[in-house]
Chains A and B, each alone.
Chain A
Amino acid sequence: MTTIIRKSGWMCASAAAVLLLASIQGCGNGNDNGGDKVQVANGGGSAAGSEAAASSAGQGKPTEVNDPRCPELTDGIDQSKTFTWMYSVGNTSFDPDKINTNNSQMYLFPIYDSLVYVDDSGKPQPMLATSWKLTDEGKTLEFKLRENWTYHDGTPFDAASVKANIERSKTLPGSFNANSLESVQSVEVVDAHTVRLHTDGGAGALVGVLGGSAGMMMSPAAFDKSGEDIKPTGGSGPYRMTSYQPGNKVEYTAVDNYWDDDAQNVAKMVFLISGDDNARLNAVITGAADSTFLRASMYEPAKQAGLVVCQRPSLSSYNVKLNTKRSEFDDKRVRQAISYAINRESVKQVTDGFCEPSRQLFPPSYFASNPEIDNEKLYDPDKAKQLLKDAGLADGFSFDLEVINLSLYQQIAEIIQYNLAQVGIKMSITPKSIGLLSENFSVKKSADAVLEEQKASSDPSILTSEYYLADGFSNPGGYTTDEITRLNSEAMNSADANKRAPIYAKLFKAVAEEAYPNITLCHLTTPFVMNKTVVGLNIHTDGAREFRGVGIDPGRK
Chain B
Amino acid sequence: MLKILISRIAAAVPLLAIISFLIFSLIVLIPGDPAVSLAGQNPTPAQIAAIRDTLGLNEPFLVRYWHWVSGLLQGDLGHSLFSSQPVWVDITARLPTTVSLVGLCMLIAVVLGVALGAVAGLRAGSWMDRAATVLASIGVAVPYFWVGMLLIMTLSVTYPLFPSVGYVPLTQDPWQWFRHLALPAFALSLTPSAIIARQTRASLVTVMSEDYIRTARAKGLSPVRIVVKHALKNAALPVITVFGIEMSRLLGSTVVIEQLFSLPGIGKLAYDAVFNRDFPVVQGVVLVAAGMVIFINILVDVSYAYFNPRVR
Contact = CB atoms under 8 A, between A and B. Distances in A.
B99 interface: no
Nearest to B85: A230
Interface stretch (B62-70, B110-118, B121-129, B265-273): B265-273
Interface in A405-457: 432-436, 438-439, 443, 457
Interface stretch (B163-171, B187-195, B210-218, B225-233): B163-171
Given A2-B237, A27-B271, A439 B164 contact: no
B177 to A, nearest CB: 14
B252 A23 contact: yes
Interface stretch (A133-141, A276-284, A356-364, A511-519): A276-284
Contacts of A27: 255-256, 271, 274
Contact of B22 (A1, A17, A245, A275): A17
A154 interface: no
A333 to B, nearest CB: 29
Nearest to A282: B164
Interface in B1-48: 11, 15, 18-19, 22-23, 26-27, 29-33, 36-45, 47-48
B37 A14 contact: no
Nearest to A8: B245
B43 A247 contact: no
Given A40-B39, A443-B36, A435 B262 contact: no
A470 to B, nearest CB: 13
B274 A24 contact: yes
A20 B165 CA distance: 23
A247 B272 CA distance: 8
Nearest to B39: A41
Contacts of B249: 16
Contacts of B297: 9-10, 12-13
A41 B42 contact: yes
B83 interface: yes
B262 A248 contact: yes
B276 A14 contact: no
A350 interface: no
A438 B282 CA distance: 22
A51 to B, nearest CB: 15
A16 B166 contact: no
Q: How many A residues touch the partner, as a band?
A: 35 or more
A180 B268 CA distance: 32
A43 B274 contact: no
Interface in B252-308: 252, 255-256, 259-262, 264, 268-272, 274-277, 282, 286-287, 289-290, 293-294, 297, 300-301, 304, 308
B138 interface: no
A58 interface: no
Contacts of B277: 38, 435
B32 A439 contact: yes
A440 B210 CA distance: 68
B289 A432 contact: no
Contacts of A178: 40
Contacts of B271: 24, 27, 31, 275
Interface stretch (A90-98, A324-332, A481-489, A540-548): A90-98
Interface in A23-80: 23-25, 27-28, 31, 33-34, 37-38, 40-44
Contacts of A432: 31
B262 A434 contact: no
Contacts of A280: 165
Nearest to B26: A21
A286 B252 contact: no
Contacts of A5: 238, 241
B152 interface: yes
A306 interface: no
A179 B252 contact: no
B160 interface: yes
A90 B27 CA distance: 23
A275 B83 CA distance: 18
B164 A283 contact: yes
Contacts of B275: 28, 31, 33-34, 37-38, 89
A13 B255 contact: no
A279 B249 CA distance: 24
B57 interface: no
B83 A246 contact: yes
A34 B300 CA distance: 38
A24 B282 contact: yes
Contacts of B54: 174
Contacts of A20: 251-252, 255, 270, 286, 289-290
A440 to B, nearest CB: 10
Contacts of A271: none
A275 B15 contact: no
A98 B304 CA distance: 51
Nearest to A38: B37
Top 7 A-B residue pairs of the complex, sorted by shortest distance between their CB atoms: A435-B32, A34-B275, A17-B290, A248-B264, A274-B262, A282-B164, A433-B31
Given A10-B11, A435-B32, 12 more contacts: A8-B245, A24-B271, A34-B274, A38-B32, A86-B165, A92-B83, A100-B276, A174-B54, A178-B40, A276-B260, A278-B260, A433-B31
Interface of B: 11, 15, 18-19, 22-23, 26-27, 29-33, 36-45, 47-48, 51, 54, 81-85, 90, 93-94, 149, 152, 156-157, 160, 163-167, 237-238, 241, 244-245, 248-249, 251-252, 255-256, 259-262, 264, 268-272, 274-277, 282, 286-287, 289-290, 293-294, 297, 300-301, 304, 308, 311
22 contacts: A2-B304, A5-B238, A13-B293, A16-B252, A20-B251, A27-B271, A33-B275, A37-B275, A38-B32, A40-B38, A40-B39, A41-B43, A179-B40, A245-B93, A247-B94, A272-B262, A275-B259, A279-B152, A279-B260, A288-B164, A439-B36, A443-B33
